[in-house]
Amino acid sequence: MTTESAVEAAQAALAAEHVAVYAYGVAGGVLDPSGPEAVRVRSAYEVHRARRDGLETTVRSASAEPAPAEAGYALDRPVRGPAGAVALARTIEDRCAATYAALVAASTGALRSDAVGWLGDAATRGLSWGAAPTAFPGLAPAPLR
């Protein structure tokens, strides 16, 4: 990862991971800790936390300073129960998928391979949260001409 566009895409993915870690913490806070959604939220939280930490290392290895996490993030809507937690998780995976797709486009080598895996993971996890399947996860549909 030596190009400026690859570093920018990695920084964007890192920023999305900061949001994901925060959002999954919020989602977990409104769920019954022994319920099945809470188990899935904890698992996703751990995945995104590890990915965030790895992206920080990746950005540093490119001699750049990783984007820091904010103290908090504005969410699209209040999260007041299981339905809100699931909707938030679905949104987070969709948004992370978009940053992973951009990272795939901008990177090469091992980082690109990782980003492809992350994109598939986000698409699969999004489907498990009820997202609609798409032909190309992480990409906005092109307008018809």
pLDDT digits 0-9 by tens, 40-71: 999 999 999 999 999 999 999 999 999 999 99
**Contact residues for 77 (Cβ-Cβ < 8 A; gap 6+):** 84, 87
Q: Taking residues 103-132, report their average pLDDT.
A: 96
What does the radius of gyration of the chain's CA atoms come to, in whole angstroms?
15
Q: Can you spell out the DSSP letters for 65-76?
A: PPPPPPS----S
Taken in order of first residue, the domains within the chain and their CATH numbers are: 4-128 (1.20.1260.10)
The reported pTM is 0.93
Q: Taking residues 76-84, report their average pLDDT.
A: 94
